[in-house]
């Protein structure tokens, strides 16, 4: 579960930290994480900031490096339930572009937080666009399937993304997964995988899918939870290099 409430000064420091890492078009996922059972406590507010740097594939319309950022504000509706609002943005050609807004509801069933299996899911409704493209309304479903044993923690999100406006209304398969090892109670080393496999009705050939692999480090530093990730594309259609920083904290 998330750390106890922290002062607003910590939030300001977190904002500055992510801004520094994101100061440099559609690239890596706007929500660049694998969902697990870490929800905002009931009755509390939370803030998560994401910053990512991407060097797109050589075939991309904008092959120069891109910067992405996102703020997520969350509230613990009840035990096992979280409501959140995401506001993503992308920096391209020297300009920041707002790329949408998403409202999300997340549930994780009661479980042993130290070991064993757990499950849950997130439903997201939003309106988004890639840079220089039209707006589109969409819905996303991300199942959360996790398992802890000893120092290991594995999570799978077999996500489904559907556009509900415009001419293309297919359901896309966008899975992600993470395997983490606990080095000590406040430090985890992990591997993450993200894919855009195309429409469920006719999945893309493996060489045409956008796939990313990252090495991550998750740490707790006082009131903050930090995730640093570095990785690369796994196919010729993927972004060549990626980096990300996530900062999350509870707010009072």
Residues 136-170 pLDDT 10s: 899 999 999 999 999 999 999 999 999 888 777 88
Positions in the chain short of pLDDT 50: 1, 3-26
Tell me what pLDDT residue 96 has. 82
Residue 145 has which token pair? 């399937």
The model's pTM: 0.86
Tell me what pLDDT residue 11 has. 44
Tell me what pLDDT residue 64 has. 73
Tell me what pLDDT residue 10 has. 47
Tell me what pLDDT residue 8 has. 42
Domain ranges across the chain: 5-251
Q: What is the pLDDT of residues 74-101, one digit of tens each?
A: 999 999 999 999 999 988 777 888 888 9
Tell me what pLDDT residue 128 has. 79
Mean pLDDT of all residues belonging to the chain = 87
- Cβ-count burial 198-207 (b if 16+ within 10 Å, e if not): beeeeebeee
How large a percentage of the chain has pLDDT more than 70? Answer: 86
Tell me what pLDDT residue 59 has. 67
> Is domain 5-251 annotated with CATH 2.40.160.40?
yes
């Amino acid at each position: 579960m998330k750390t106890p409430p922290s002062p607003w000064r910590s939030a300001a420091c977190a904002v500055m930290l992510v801004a520094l890492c994101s100061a440099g078009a559609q690239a890596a996922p706007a929500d660049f994480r694998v969902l697990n059972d870490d929800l905002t406590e009931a009755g509390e507010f939370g803030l998560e900031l994401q910053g990512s740097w991407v060097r797109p594939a050589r075939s991309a319309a904008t092959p120069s490096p891109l910067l992405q950022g996102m703020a997520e504000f969350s509230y613990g509706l009840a035990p096992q339930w979280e409501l959140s609002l995401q506001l993503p943005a992308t920096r391209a050609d020297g300009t920041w572009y707002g790329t949408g807004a998403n409202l999300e509801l997340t549930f994780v069933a009661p479980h042993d937080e130290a070991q064993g299996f757990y499950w849950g899911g997130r439903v997201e409704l939003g309106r988004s666009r890639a840079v220089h493209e039209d707006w589109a309304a969409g819905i996303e479903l991300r199942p959360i399937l996790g398992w802890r044993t000893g120092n290991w923690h594995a999570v799978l999100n077999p996500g489904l993304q559907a556009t509900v406006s415009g001419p293309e209304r297919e359901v896309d398969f966008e899975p992600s997964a993470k395997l983490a090892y606990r080095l000590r109670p406040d430090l985890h080393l992990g591997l993450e995988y993200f894919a855009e496999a195309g429409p469920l009705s006719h999945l893309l050939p493996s060489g045409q899918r956008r796939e990313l692999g990252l090495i991550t480090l998750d740490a707790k530093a006082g009131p903050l939870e930090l995730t640093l990730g570095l990785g690369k594309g796994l196919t010729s259609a993927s972004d060549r290099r990626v980096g990300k920083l996530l900062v999350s904290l509870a707010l009072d």
